[in-house]
Amino acid sequence: MIKDLVILILSAAAIVVAVRFLLVPGIGKIGAALKFSAKVRGQMIGYATSVPEFTVLVAGALNGVFDAGMWNIASSNIINWALFLITVFALHQQLDLKNKIFIDELIFGVLSVILPLLMFAFGIGTGYITAVGLLAFFVFYKVMDKRLNRAGKPAPLPPGAENGSVAGGSLYLLLGVAVILLSGRFLGSSAGALITQLNVPAWAVGWILGLVTSVCELASFIEIYRMHKPKDSPTHIKDTQEALDALVASNIANLGLILPLGMLIYLTVIR
């Protein structure tokens, strides 16, 4: 039991380090080369920080605890929102959220929390129809985001990314994904062992994993605000734009991309 707990903690720590020092810097380097706007870079960071949830979901399924992975998705989306709001209020940026340009992101962000809770409330479990419906929701989000938002100016660059390149950034991303995939495999197996040995409910393990994997999002929120300091003016809201898009992209990817893909893998390969 102690061994599995240590493996779980070390695996989670490795995932956080990979996101902080490989995935996010890699996106920064690619964004510098391709002149990403704050919105695009925020979404890219959001998708990158969802990789841990995918590895945990698949690894959990491989170890017979797919329900824990589903709870990980639901809990991660709730915890991500809490960590985002904590960051925003701690840095005194809460007034930015009153800007009407954030309405669509806020709506989709709220839906990313409500929908998985409704799935549990109405007993909507794993199935091909559910997977297709969730994928359709992700496509709907992307279509609406494209229609409602225009591409902005290039975002401020993170320190060290001024000479970024697609090749260099891609190398960082590949290394980060490799570390996360390997760590996620150990994380899922240790979680499965703990459930079996301690008879811990799958939902409880899901919440624990959700808290662990959401540390990546917290690190990204803090890093985003750090990249935008000092602000150009009191009306500068690109930092909150990027952080909010990172939150929403991560949550929507968890619900509309990662969960259904995990379901399909579980239904066609594992079960």
Does the reported pTM lie above 0.85? no
Per-residue pLDDT of 35-93, as tens digits, reads 888 788 889 888 888 887 887 777 767 766 677 777 888 899 999 999 999 999 998 88
Q: How many CB atoms lie within 10 A of CB 163?
A: 10
For a pLDDT cut of 90, what percent of the chain falls above it?
A: 24
Measured distance CA(96)–CA(115) in Å, rounded: 26
CB within 8 Å of 246: residues ≥ 6 apart: 42, 43, 45, 46, 49, 217, 220, 221, 224
Domain extents for the chain?
Answer: 2-270
3-state secondary structure of 56: helix
In the prediction, which pLDDT does 195 show? 67
| pLDDT, mean over the chain | 82
- pLDDT (average), residues 212-226: 81
Asked if residue 245 has pLDDT above 90, the reply is yes
- pLDDT band (50, 70, 90) for residue 149: confident
Q: Compute CA 80 distance to the chain's CA centroid, rounded to the nearest angstrom.
A: 8
Helix ranges, the chain (H): 2-18, 24-34, 38-48, 51-62, 66-90, 103-121, 128-148, 166-198, 202-227, 238-253, 259-265
